[in-house]
Structure 1
């Protein structure tokens, strides 16, 4: 590997991107993770939001900060021949800036696009949103540091099945790609061959 490598874990929500990211970081020690959700959650904690409009403003700020963080990470990776990994349901919204950053840093980019049966994903998303360990800001339209919600089923931002399906079929999550593409069916998470994925990355990082 002679320059920066960027691995984008893309695809539908709830397909195990976060877990795969941890496997990649464990396999490739010289790897930096840059996450949009981490930036979002930090902004929610710092500023809070009172309604959906304020939340969108913070989320837009998070995207700009994410690109800035990714720019920095790719610059460091280019100098040290290291790897950068990022996981998100990427779409056409992020593609032009991601492409420009890769061209600027002459990065080798690859996309692992995870897909799955939508009904399975909806149920998985519901479980994740109701998990107390998930940041509350993801499922509410009003949040400030320290806020809690005892009954998460009452959260205003929980997606209906119809809205979840609409997002998954209209936002281009299942079509995003930059560079080499590996598509993985994550309907059954236990059946995902993580070792084969890691070997695929290694072969393209040499």
Structure 2
């Protein structure tokens, strides 16, 4: 049986979480793991009082993430999907685990015009559903901030652009690549991608 690791890559605010739900329709048995979920779980469990402590938690997040990914690969889960703005920082470890456990890798890379992404990012960061730990320099479970625009770690437009460019989110690829432009959501149709992946993975015994 062939096994697959699907990496859903691309800059923040490209709609990766939405696409995860779309792919679940055709690959309902896949295991989904995201580093951001790990960040939120650990932030709720441990918390942090300053940026130094917040940065220290990052190490725990990636140990947790790679540990869980390794476990599911070790037991042979047929389809694993991971969603994140992947960069060169994750390439080596993902390559090693995929090779070790004999997983075929598929990268789905979402790209979009920067100004569109920035407007989406600004809006997303102040939504009540956004986990507060992402936009604060201090956080403990139960903290609240009614006016999210007052968060002290909201990213600026210039910093957002610099991160995208320096981390080369638009260039990341492992294995086979599918790239989709999501600048205009109204023109995005995932039907062909979903059918292609379903045929490729479910028929690959």
Deviation at 1:171, TM superposition (A): 0.7
TM-score by length of 1: 0.95
* Aligned position for 1:20: 19
**Counterpart contact for 2:26–2:198, Cα < 8 Å:** no
The question of 1:113 aligning with 2:112 is answered no
Deviation by residue 1:79-137 (Cα, 9 ceiling, x = unmatched):
x5x21001000000000000000001100110000000111101101111110011000
Alpha-carbon displacement from aligned partner over 1:37-89 (angstroms, at most 9, x marks no partner): 1110000000000111111111221011101111112223x2x5x21001000
- 74, 77, 85: which one aligns with 1:89: 85
Q: How does 1:147-162 map to 2 (within 5 A)?
A: 147-162=143-158
Instruction: Specify every segment of 5 or more residues in structure 2 that has no aligned partner in the other structure, as ranges.
Output: none
Retained in 1: the 8 A contact 2:7–2:107? yes
Work out the number of aligned pairs and report it: 202
- Which consecutive residues of structure 1, in runs of 5 or more, have no partner in the other structure? none
Q: Residue 159 of structure 2: which of 138, 158, 163 is its match?
A: 163
2:109 is paired with a residue whose SS is strand
Q: Which residue of 2 aligns with 1:138?
A: 134
CA contact (8 A) 1:25 1:32 kept: no
1:98 aligns with 2:75: no
RMSD in angstroms over aligned alpha carbons? 1.1
Alignment of 1:1-206 (within 5 A): 2-76=1-75, 78=76, 82-205=78-201, 206=204
TM-score (norm 2): 0.95
CA distance in 1 between counterparts of 2:176 and 2:190 reads 17
Secondary structure of the corresponding residue to residue 94 of structure 1: helix
